Structure 1
Amino acid sequence: MPHPATMTQGPGAPFAPHLRRLLEFTEPDRDDVCLDVARGQGPMPAALWPQVRHVTAVDALPPPAPGRRGGRMSTVTFGTGLGTGPVRILGGPDDRGRPGTGRGGAPPRHDITTGHRGTPDPVRVRADATALPYRDGSFTLVTARFSLFALGAPDRVLRELLRVCRPGGRLIIADLVRGNLAQPDRDRIERLRDPDHPGTPSIAAVTDLITTAGASIRRLDVFTVERPLEPWLAGARDPDAADRIRTALLDEVDGGPRTGAKPRVIGGELWFTQSWAHVAAEPI
């Protein structure tokens, strides 16, 4: 049955039950060095930091448009929060103070070699999601919550997340999905709210994408979430589009055409459903 998306109080901040479910699925370890890649400022860094050694949060930029120059950032300082100093930067200034470069003159990647357990990184890094400024295998835990498909070019983003994940580490993907046999009609509602919505992938499409990118899937958690409509509609770009969504769902409740959102009225409030998946993968 669907799980209601209500809020419960967590240490220092309210956590939705499904964020708590994701944390339990992630199984953070106190020695983990974590990277969270989000579109905007997601809740994962704050949820992870009490349970791990170090967290770095990337506010990810979509890949550059075709013909525009991309590439990794060349200057980022990552603090560890309690006076332990910045992490070491590969290719940084040499003994004579000259800026270093990466292999072949490329911008240097950064090496997360220090940190203090339970200390969030105070610097929020902005970076191209397909060109993260870290060396290979820098993190034992990499998370991407509702960002893999939203950023565009999911295959390239996924390969980059796997590149910075250490062998034996874990990559955790959390995203919207639809059943393998479900029709994509449900995306009509999503695109009314957000015209840039990339489309909801099937469960099989998500798992195939991960294995094709070079990872093995260790665990999979797929479940249905029932949530109130109005807070979700608050993110709609166009008030008229929000009204059309509201009307379509109310029509379905009254026996009209199906939207795929399975709406119902609870306590005088309109609710709808989504399918979410948590996938735990390991670089091969």
Structure 2
Amino acid sequence: MPQPAPAVQRSGGPIAPHLRRLLEFVEPGREDVCLDVARGRGPMPAALAPQVRHVTAVDAMPEPPARADTSGRMSTIEFGTGPVRITGDGGPDGDRPAAATTREDRVRHPIGPDRPTIKADATALPYRDNAFSLVTARFSLYTLGDPDDVLRELLRVCRPDGRVIIADLVRGNLAGPERDRIERLRDPDHPGTPSIARLTEMITSAGGSIRRLDVFTVERPIEPWLAGACDDAAADRIREALLDEVDGGPKTGAKPRVIGGELWFTQTWAHVAAEPIP
């Protein structure tokens, strides 16, 4: 029988339920030497630090283009169930990247207020092979360069008996393209949401063996998510499409509904645990 979730603390109080779910999936151990690769400064290093021996945080956010003015762990696949409800702006678009440090640093540092996140290229990480027992990438795989190259690097720096944890948005294997239309209205550069099968295929093609899989539905209010829309007109078009669906109109794939007078929508998230294939 599943055990109650532990109360995991971060500076400022308990962490959000969706991040706690990811930490439980990761199964951090006291002897783990961890690498987190993120776009900007994500929440994983601070959440992992109290539970492991060492954490290295890499900010692999690509430089913007120049423009004018702008061990007892499970060894078989398991399928989790949801849903998870997020009441604020948590999630992939809620992790606002902080200003990246420009320090060229090849030495691993513990996570703390006086320790900057290391700036590095996710497709050419400055670490030797098999350097880490735990490697994590949360909602960043498709924004750090070619995802196949990123996956090969994450697996390269992971020990043969370690694990790579990928957390990202997915769509069901039978889902249509409607959902990406909404995502691209919000962000014209959105790379598209992979199917669950496509994500796992990419990991195995890069040299990983899938060990565990947790796929679940997240329901969240629309307004914090729309705060990241490219412009107000795009946000209005998304609201209109979702409200139209609530009233029986065309499907968007977002499964919207009105809760307490507020418009909510759904996303599908996946946590994947893989091991490098020797």
TM-score range, shorter chain: 0.7 to 0.9
Moved more, 144-153 or 266-275: 144-153
Query: 1:223/1:145 Cα in 2 relative to 1: closer, same or farther (>3 Å)?
Result: same
Partner of residue 78, structure 1? 108
What do the CA deviations read for 1:120-174 (whole angstroms, capped 9, x no partner)? 8822011111011111111100000011122231100000001111111010000
Which of 237, 240, 249 is residue 247 of structure 1 equivalent to? 240
Which of structures 1 and 2 has the bigger CA Rg?
Answer: 1
| Superposed counterparts of 1:13-92, under 5 Å | 13=12, 14-62=14-62, 75-80=105-110
Q: Secondary structure at the match of 1:186?
A: helix
- Are positions 1:149 and 2:153 aligned together? no
Q: Partner letter of residue 78 of structure 1?
A: R
Listed as ranges, the matches of 1:126-275 within 5 Å are 126-275=119-268
Alpha-carbon distance in structure 2 between the residues aligned to 1:216 and 1:202: 18
Paired position in structure 2 for 1:12: 11
Q: For the residues of structure 1 that align with 2:160 and 2:52, how far apart are their CA atoms?
A: 18
SS of 1:61's equivalent?
Answer: coil
SS in 2 for 1:156: helix
Contact 2:105 2:118 in 1 (8 A): no
Question: Taking structure 1 as the reference length, what is the TM-score of the superposition?
Answer: 0.77
Aligned equivalents of 1:63 and 1:240: distance in 2?
27
Instruction: Tell me how large the CA RMSD over aligned residues is.
Output: 2.2
Q: Give the C-alpha shift of residue 274 in structure 1.
A: 0.4
**CA deviation digits over 1:164-216, x for unaligned, max 9?**
11111010000000111111210011111111111000011011111111111
Is the alpha carbon distance of 1:237 and 1:210 closer, same or farther for their aligned partners in structure 2, counting shifts above 3 Å? same
What secondary structure, in the 3-state scheme, does the structure 2 residue paired with 1:236 have?
coil
For 1:149 and 1:155, locate their aligned partners in 2 and report how far apart those are by CA, in whole Å. Answer: 9
Secondary structure of the residue aligned to 2:120 is strand
* Structure 1 residues 228 and 139: CA distance shift in structure 2, 3 A: same
5+ unaligned residues in a row in structure 2: which ranges? 1-6, 66-102
The 3 A distance-change label for structure 1 pair 216 and 47 is same
Q: Distance in 2 between matches of 1:120 and 1:171?
A: 26
For the 8 Å contact 2:105–2:119, the answer to whether it is kept is no
Higher relative contact order (CA 8 A, sep 6+): 2
Deviation at 1:257, TM superposition (A): 1.1
* Contact 2:33/2:53 (8 A) holds in 1: yes
- CA–CA separation in structure 2 for the residues paired with 1:135 and 1:21: 30
Deviations 1:215-270 (A, max 9, x none): 11100001111011111111112121111111111111111111100000001110
Whole-angstrom CA distance in 2 between matches of 1:136 and 1:45: 21
Identity among equivalent positions (%) equals 77
- Structure 1 unaligned segments of length 5 or more: list them: 1-7, 66-72, 82-118
Distance, in Å, in 2 between the alignment partners of 1:230 and 1:10 is 27
Q: Is the 8 A contact 2:256 2:263 kept in 1?
A: yes
Amino acid corresponding to residue 257 of structure 2 in structure 1: R
Q: Is the 8 A contact 2:54 2:110 kept in 1?
A: yes
The CA distance in 1 between the partners of 2:37 and 2:114, in whole Å, is 13
User: Taking structure 2 as the reference length, what is the TM-score of the superposition?
Assistant: 0.79
The 8 Å contact of residues 54 and 121 in structure 1, kept in 2 or not, is answered as no
Q: Deviations over 1:56-93 (max 9, x none)?
A: 1111134999xxxxxxx974343347xxxxxxxxxxxx
Give the paired residue count.
233
Q: Which amino acid is 1:30 matched to?
A: R
CA contact (8 A) 2:210 2:275 kept: yes
